[in-house]
Amino acid sequence: MTTIASAPDIDSEYKISPAQIAQFEQDGYIKLKDVLSAEALSHYGKEITRMVLLLNREDKPLDQRTTYGKAFLQIMNLWQKSDLVREFVFGQRLARIATDLLRTRGVRMYHDQALYKEAGGGYTPWHVDQYYWPLSSEKTVTAWIPLHAIPLENGPLSFSVGSQRIKIGRDLEISDESEKKIQQQLKLSNLPIDETPFDLGEVSFHLGYTFHRAGPNQLSYPREVMTIIYMDKDMKLVEPKNKSQQLDWDNWCTGARIGEVIDGPMNPVIYSR
C-alpha cells in the first residue's frame, strides 16, 4: 500500500496576542518567529524558485542594471501560474495573521511577488509600498516570507520603527533619490532602525506606509523571499495619483471601478471571519 504524504501545514491558527497587535500598530511592522515550518518552506519554496527561474526575463549583468534592477528579481502573481504556489499563497495561517494585525473582518489578495536578491545583488532603497497602490485606506499589510534563514550579509529587510506616521517621502518611487531623501528625513525624525537577521520560519508583516529597505547581498547564494500583499476585504479603488498606481489598477485590479470594492477575479478573499 502506497502512503501519500500530506502537504505541510499552512492553515492552522498562529496565535496573535493583543500585545503583538498593539506593537504592530505602534511600530508599523512586526517580526514573528516560527510562523512556517522548515518542511513547508522547503515544499513550497522549491516550486517558487522553479517558477522564478522559469519566468525571469532579466538577462543583463548586474553592473549594467539600474539600482532597482540590481536590488532583486521581481516576479509577480505566481499564484496564477502554479497550482502549488496558489496553495501556498491561499494558506489560511498567514492570511489570518494579516486579518488579526489589521483588525479587519477579512483580507483579500492585492498580489503576490517573489523577490530574489541575486548573489552580489545591490541594496534596496528606502521606500513605502503604498506609493504604488490606488487604495482607499491604509488597511494593507505585506507578509515578507524568507524561504531560508537570512543573515545580515544576505540582505534582510530592515524597518524604520514607527515610520508609518511620517508623511514626507510617501510620494517617492523606489530609487537612489528615495534612498537619499528618506534617509535624511528618518535621521531628522530620530526613529530607530530594525536591521536584524531572519531565522528560518520567521516572517515579517509591515504596513503599506512603513518605510523599509534592504542591504546588498554579499553572499555567494541568492536571498530567496516570497511576499503576499493583503488588503482589507472591503478595500475600495481610488483615483490613481501617479503612473505607477494606474499601472497597478490595470495589472492587479482588473475590472475594479473607482469608489467600489476591489472584488475582481485577481483579488479574491483569502480569509474571512
Number of Cβ within a 10 Å radius of residue 76: 17
Distance in angstroms (rounded) separating the CA atoms of residues 263 and 273: 17
List helix spans (H) across 135-242.
176-189
pLDDT score of 156: 98
What SS3 class is residue 115? strand
Burial 214-240 (b: 16+ CB within 10 A, else e): bbbbebeebbbbbbbbbbbbbbbbeeb
Cell numbers for 36, please give them: 512556517
pLDDT score of 1: 45
pLDDT score of 61: 87
- Of 206, 33, 228, 221, which Cα lies nearest the Cα of 116? 221
In the chain, which stretches have pLDDT less than 70? 1-5
pLDDT score of 115: 97
pLDDT score of 212: 97
DSSP state of 79: G
pLDDT score of 5: 56
Spell out the domains of the chain, with CATH numbers in brackets: 18-264 (2.60.120.620)
